[in-house]
Homo-oligomer: A and B are copies of this chain.
Amino acid sequence: MTKTPLYDRVTLIGLGLIGSSLGHAMRRAGVAGEIIGADRDEAVCKKAVELGFVDRAETDAAKAVADADLVVLCTPVGTFDALAKEIAGALKPGATLSDVGSVKLSALKAMAAHAPEGVHLIPAHPVAGTENSGPEAGFAELFEGRWTILTPPDGADAAATEKLKSFWEALGSKVEVMEAEHHDLVLAITSHIPHLIAYNIVGTAADLETVTESEVIKYSAGGFRDFTRIAASNPDMWRDIFLANKDAVLEMLGRFSEDLSSLQRAIRWEDGDALHKLFTRTREIRRQVIEAGQDE
């Protein structure tokens, strides 16, 4: 690459789906002079070097962040507090500490609790993913055409935020800046509740006595199979998300359940018009999702 890298050294902590995708995408875009990986699992570190999305990798996160200009936490959000504590002392003054966690207020709090003065804290969340995990699941195109949300705290350094914005844009992402709290509300409805109800219906189906598991699987092409895909997502990551975004999730879940009760009532009282009206409105939203290029 002949481009001037945006950051001379970037350290990725956690080399799963998102960490490996970031590595591949950074390589392709030429935005990092050097990419260092950290993973608690020695075998994953080796694999990452072998796959070529990091230059080197090690199990000691504090060592890995030495002299890095940008450090990105790519582990489940429940690990951020301990990780931030572990690396805090090793961070270079003027470095940017960021993450890719799916919940932002808790991420910000966890990092802010430990990051030393002079380190720029800019949480980020690429709204892109698949149901796969691990260092082999990543690919450079994951962020293309998707949105990445930055949630810098009040008083964050404007230049550092701009630079991180350029970084994500170089990876093909569109970037939006918003408050961490608002992010968590938006993602509760566009991501966390969809996952929760997918996990839930797959569980409900597995528990039936009147319908066998083999029937559920055979006839899954009627709609159920799409939910099984979502419900195959990483259990650690999703447990952490629901715990970290408890308030927003419970708020949205309350609304979902209220609306579902009203649909239930429409079915019980055979109110076909009410059903038809909802089913027509939802089509319009689909049209807009496609128009916005968010389902290709």
Residues of A within 8 A of B (CB): 102, 127-129, 131, 146-147, 149, 176, 185-187, 189-208, 210-211, 213, 215-233, 235-236, 238-240, 242-243, 246, 249-250, 252-253, 255-257, 259-261, 263-264, 267-268, 270, 272, 275-276, 278-283, 285-289, 292, 294-295
Closest CB in chain B relative to A116 CB, distance in Å: 30
Given contacts A186-B215, A190-B224, A229-B295, 6 further A-B contacts (CB under 8 A): A189-B211, A190-B216, A217-B294, A220-B289, A232-B286, A249-B267
Q: Which residues of B contact A198 (CB under 8 A)?
A: 223, 282
CA distance A216 to B288 in the complex (A): 10
Q: Which residues of B contact A147 (CB under 8 A)?
A: 218-219, 221
Interface SS, A side: helix
A225, B282: Cβ atoms closer than 8 Å: no
A231, B201: Cβ atoms closer than 8 Å: no
CA distance A279 to B129 in the complex (A): 17
Q: Which of B220, B276, B288 is within 8 Å of A217, CB to CB?
A: B288
Counted per complex, copies of this chain come to 2
Q: Which residues of B contact A287 (CB under 8 A)?
A: 232
Q: Which residues of B contact A286 (CB under 8 A)?
A: 131, 202, 228-229, 231-232
Q: Take A176-B218, A279-B235 as given contacts and tell me if A223 and B204 are in contact as well, using a CB distance cutoff of 8 Å.
A: no
CA distance A202 to B205 in the complex (A): 22
**What residue in chain B is nearest A191 (Cβ atoms)?**
B222
CA distance A116 to B40 in the complex (A): 73
CA distance A149 to B264 in the complex (A): 27
Q: Which residues of B contact A267 (CB under 8 A)?
A: 242-243, 246, 249-250, 253
A243, B272: Cβ atoms closer than 8 Å: yes
Q: Which residues of B contact A194 (CB under 8 A)?
A: 201, 222-224, 226-227
B282, A232: Cβ atoms closer than 8 Å: yes
CA distance A116 to B189 in the complex (A): 52
**What residue in chain B is nearest A273 (Cβ atoms)?**
B239
Could you list some 12 contacts between A and B, CB below 8 A?
A129-B222, A147-B219, A190-B219, A195-B223, A206-B281, A217-B288, A217-B294, A218-B294, A228-B289, A228-B295, A242-B267, A243-B267
Q: Which of B222, B231, B240, B292 is within 8 Å of A187, CB to CB?
A: B222
A211, B186: Cβ atoms closer than 8 Å: yes
Q: Which of B223, B278, B288 is within 8 Å of A190, CB to CB?
A: B223
A295, B220: Cβ atoms closer than 8 Å: yes
A208, B225: Cβ atoms closer than 8 Å: no
Q: Take A267-B246, A275-B239 as given contacts and tell me if A289 and B225 are in contact as well, using a CB distance cutoff of 8 Å.
A: yes
A203, B282: Cβ atoms closer than 8 Å: yes
Closest CB in chain B relative to A124 CB, distance in Å: 14
